[in-house]
Amino acid sequence: MPHEIKIPALGESVTGGQIAHWNFKDGDYVKTGDILLVLETDKVAAEVTAEASGRLTIGKHADDEVEIGAVVGEIDESAAPPAAKPAEAPQPAAPANAPANAEPAAPVDAPANVEPAPAAAEPAPKPGSAPAVAAEPPPVAAAKTPAPAAGRVTRKKMSPLRKKIADQLVSAQHTAAILTTFNECDMTNVMDLRSKLQESFVAKHGVKLGFMSFFIKAVVEALKAVPQINVRVEGDEIVQQHYYDIGVAIGTERGLIVPVLRDADKQSFAELEKDILAYAAKAKDGKLQVSDLTGGVFTISNGGVYGSLLSTPIINPPQSAILGMHTIQKRPVAVDDQVVIRPMMNLALSYDHRVVDGKEAVTFLIRVKDCIENPARMLVGA
């Protein structure tokens, strides 16, 4: 009896997904452990592996919607593996007594081993007759390759993740009373500190010291200073959270995802940087788990990596606020009544005005600004 290929359970909240692609063709021989297909869900991309060896029969194809437990194909275990291809026979070597100055081989379209005929002498014209003129062959018209008809539109099915993102964004706009407050921070001290510590940091930890770990630590300090931001709404209740699982938005080919850094308050800068790199690698390979994306209390989005100067980020429900980072831009600012050029970054805090007041939001953002402009305070806990 053929072995059925079923979509495995991927988490309590995942009920199905869409087949992104098969790694094998119908009729191919597969082995136990081979990755047969990739399934896209509204949270992660999951790989389905072969649990038996045999000939593959595909029942559901790319872009088909399937539920957890659905049969998408079969493996015929009675099929024999394909025979190994015979080794190619070696080409015969050239004769050892072949002259070194042998003539090159004749062109492919000429008969082999035939001496070219000597050019015939042109006969002299008879007196009073016109010289013979060879008829010129008619010119050959160049073949015209028809230009491919360029399609004016391309349609493709929206992936489950993209649909989930769309639903989340629309839900946030319809449910929360979103308001955004702005500020700017001087990145001089953070940049100087990174420059001084970078070499020894890499030598000790094997990763670079980036800006994101500073902002994660700054957000944790601000959440401790303004705990009213660290809440979520459940029905008619406000749930106060006393832990600091911070989500970091990462852009991928499949869409925006937000893996969560657990207990960011207890992690060192090096541990945060390693976790960020690990999540980025998993996101690129499509190996994030549902547990990697759930349970965050606050989100940081860095549009600055794409060159964004200013934006109004949308809250990631059921969270109550999100911080938007932007590109670092040198511009003139007033310092001690003097105009100087400093690397400045715009910050944006979007928050749910149902549960967060303007004073709390502004206080939170100022605390983040202070931590970034005085990074040594975070290192000593001041």
Domain end residue (candidates: 76, 100, 122)? 76
pLDDT at 127 (0 to 100): 43
The three-state DSSP-derived secondary structure of 264-311 is: HHHCCHHHHHHHHHHHHHHHHHCCCCHHHCCCCCEEEEEHHHHCCCCC
Instruction: Tell me, yes or no, if 357 is annotated catalytic.
Output: yes
* Same domain assignment for residues 69 and 164: no
**102 inside domain:** no
pLDDT at 12 (0 to 100): 62
pLDDT at 144 (0 to 100): 55
Output the average pLDDT for the chain: 83
| Torsion, Cα of 17, 20, 23, 28 (10° steps) | 70
Q: Give the Cα separation of 78 and 29 in Å (integer).
A: 11
* Same domain assignment for residues 175 and 31: no
How would residue 285 be classed by pLDDT, with cut points 50, 70 and 90?
confident
Domain end residue (candidates: 54, 76, 98)? 76
**277 inside domain:** yes
pLDDT digit string (tens) for 201-254? 999 999 999 999 999 999 999 999 999 999 999 989 999 999 999 999 988 777
**59 inside domain:** yes
pLDDT at 128 (0 to 100): 43
**101 inside domain:** no
Q: Which of 64, 167, 192, 357 is catalytic?
A: 357
* Same domain assignment for residues 174 and 69: no
pLDDT at 92 (0 to 100): 56
pLDDT digit string (tens) for 30-46? 999 999 998 888 767 78
Q: Which of 34, 265, 353, 370 is catalytic?
A: 353
pLDDT digit string (tens) for 294-315? 899 999 999 999 999 999 999 9
Could you list the residue range(s) of the whole structural domain that residue 60 is in? Answer: 3-76
**11 inside domain:** yes
Q: Specify the CATH number for the domain of residue 358.
A: 3.30.559.10
Instruction: Tell me, yes or no, if 265 is annotated catalytic.
Output: no
Q: Are 373 and 185 in contact (CB under 8 A)?
A: yes
Domain end residue (candidates: 76, 104, 125)? 76
How would residue 15 be classed by pLDDT, with cut points 50, 70 and 90?
confident
Whether 18 shows a pLDDT value over 80: the answer reads yes
Domains: count for the chain: 2
**81 inside domain:** no
* Same domain assignment for residues 57 and 205: no
* Same domain assignment for residues 176 and 42: no
Q: Give the Cα separation of 185 and 345 in Å (integer).
A: 5
* Same domain assignment for residues 256 and 371: yes
**152 inside domain:** no
pLDDT at 81 (0 to 100): 86
* Same domain assignment for residues 369 and 240: yes
> Which pair of structure tokens corresponds to residue 247?
């989500």
pLDDT digit string (tens) for 87-121? 665 565 544 444 444 444 433 343 344 344 444 44
* Same domain assignment for residues 61 and 169: no
More reliable by pLDDT, 380 or 249: 249
pLDDT at 101 (0 to 100): 45
> Which pair of structure tokens corresponds to residue 324?
């938007």
pLDDT at 90 (0 to 100): 58
pLDDT at 202 (0 to 100): 97
**211 inside domain:** yes
pLDDT at 204 (0 to 100): 97
